[in-house]
Structure 1
Amino acid sequence: MQQASALFLGVYEPTKQKLLDILPENLSAIAHLTAGALGGAASSLVRVPTEVVKQRMQIGHFNSAPNAVRLIIANEGFRGLYAGYGSFLLRDLPFDAIQFCIYEQLRIGYKLAAQRDLKDAENAIIGAFAGAITGAITTPLDVIKTRLMIQGPKNQYRGIFNCVRTIMREEGSSALMKGVGPRVLWIGIGGSIFFSVLERTKQIVAERRTESPFKRV
């Protein structure tokens, strides 16, 4: 998924900076929300096929990724690799927008309070908190996305709203929060690692840019 992350950040960072330059300072959250959503939309072009193949393999439909891609295209057409695309966007666009907005806003507030740059551990804690909160909020969207992606050609659900109605009718509303505990834990840990590495990488890149090209080693 490195390609998807690179694509996300390649859209997110320039978009964020452009919007922050245009918008008033008190509307920075809008810049973060918008940039996160646009980054998520761009990376979905890679993430959705990867997610479809992974989930079909997890439930035993295929024994290898190349075999999965070949048979999905043969049985469902190229669009089969984008099964549940709408539900994926329904989950991941809010997820990316909310997570990055929470993270960026918490960093802004923390830096103002501390009046200094944040340490790696502080970035990690803020990233974990942002990931955990966002993971909990978007759990129902993740359940819907998963159900639509793994149904295959049988089309048990006729779109997002039919999926929600069917789950509510057959399993109750609590089914929409299935897996919330592990999801919050996993995304919290992932957010901690991702954001701390991201900030460290941005710091290294910034330091290299400020170095003179004529500096002797």
Structure 2
Amino acid sequence: MLTVACLIRVPTEVVKQRTQASPWSTTYNILLATLKEEGVRGLYRGYFSTVLREIPFSLVQFPLWEYLKTLWSLRQGHTLHSWQSAVCGAFAGAVAAFVTTPLDVAKTRIMLAKAGSATASGNIPLVLYDVWRSKGLPGLFAGSAPRMAFISVGGFIFLGTYEKVRRTLL
């Protein structure tokens, strides 16, 4: 399912990232330029790195969410309310976002790299090593705070809503 979702997510992410890096250009112009310079394949640059980011993200977020819900439920002696599940989702999302930030940094660099460059080839260990060498640990975790905040809000909304709907249907 994750790999299928990335078939849609990656092209939009490529265009979004490139538009953010070139604010003087429009989304449409970025799309056309990518197709002209790299073809459809250019829209999927970073597909593998995106999938490799999403897998550990999910492996951290969902088990942590379930664990936090169980722990909180045991401490209060009853099933959590949906808002409490949402809080657990927000925290789990923030932790997963922080832990996978280096993979997100690599994904972004791969998507934004000049076509034909070593970075554009998608070699994640090489990209991470290059970031480590040039910017150190802070470079690997660049953008972690806003990423954690954004994903935390998403975890609160989506996992809280999921829990509410699940309980309503059961």
Q: What range is the shorter-chain TM-score in?
A: 0.7 to 0.9
State the TM-score, normalized to the length of structure 2. 0.86
Q: How does 1:26-37 map to 2 (within 5 A)?
A: none
Residue of structure 1 equivalent to 2:30? 68
Q: 1:177 is aligned with what amino acid?
A: F
Choose which of 58, 78, 81 in structure 1 pairs with 2:20: 58
Paired residues of 1:40 and 1:96 also in contact (CA < 8 A): no
Paired residues of 1:56 and 1:62 also in contact (CA < 8 A): no
Paired residues of 2:102 and 2:128 also in contact (CA < 8 A): no
- Number of matched residues? 168
Q: How does 1:110-125 map to 2 (within 5 A)?
A: 110-125=72-87
Q: What displacement does 1:184 show?
A: 1.9
C-alpha distance after superposition, 1:45-102 (max 9, x if no partner):
1111111110011011773333333321221021111111121112111112321221
C-alpha distance after superposition, 1:18-48 (max 9, x if no partner):
xxxxxxxxxxxxxxxxxxxxx4223111111
Q: In 2, distance between residues paired with 1:124 and 1:190? A: 10
2:166 is the alignment partner of 1:194: no
Paired residues of 1:139 and 1:176 also in contact (CA < 8 A): yes
Q: What displacement does 1:160 show?
A: 1.2
The change in CA–CA distance for 1:102 and 1:120 in structure 2 (over 3 A counts) is same
Q: In 1, distance between residues paired with 2:126 and 2:23? A: 24
Q: Which runs of 5+ in 1 are unaligned?
A: 1-38, 208-217
Question: Which stretches of structure 1, 4 residues or longer, exceed 6 Å deviation after superposition?
Answer: none
Q: In 1, distance between residues paired with 2:113 and 2:131? A: 14
SS class of match (1:155): coil
Q: Which has the higher contact order (CA 8 A, sep 6+)?
A: 2
SS class of match (1:153): coil
Residue of structure 1 equivalent to 2:145? 181
Paired residues of 2:131 and 2:140 also in contact (CA < 8 A): yes
Q: In 2, distance between residues paired with 1:149 and 1:131? A: 23
The change in CA–CA distance for 1:125 and 1:64 in structure 2 (over 3 A counts) is same
State the TM-score, normalized to the length of structure 1. 0.69
Q: How does 1:1-217 map to 2 (within 5 A)?
A: 39-60=1-22, 63-157=25-119, 158=121, 159-204=123-168, 206=169
SS class of match (1:63): coil
The change in CA–CA distance for 1:178 and 1:106 in structure 2 (over 3 A counts) is same
How large is the RMSD of aligned CA atoms in angstroms? Answer: 2.1
The change in CA–CA distance for 1:60 and 1:139 in structure 2 (over 3 A counts) is same
Q: What displacement does 1:114 show?
A: 4.2
Q: Which runs of 5+ in 2 are unaligned?
A: none
Q: In 2, distance between residues paired with 1:117 and 1:152? A: 52
Q: 2:124 is aligned with what amino acid?
A: I
Larger radius of gyration: 1
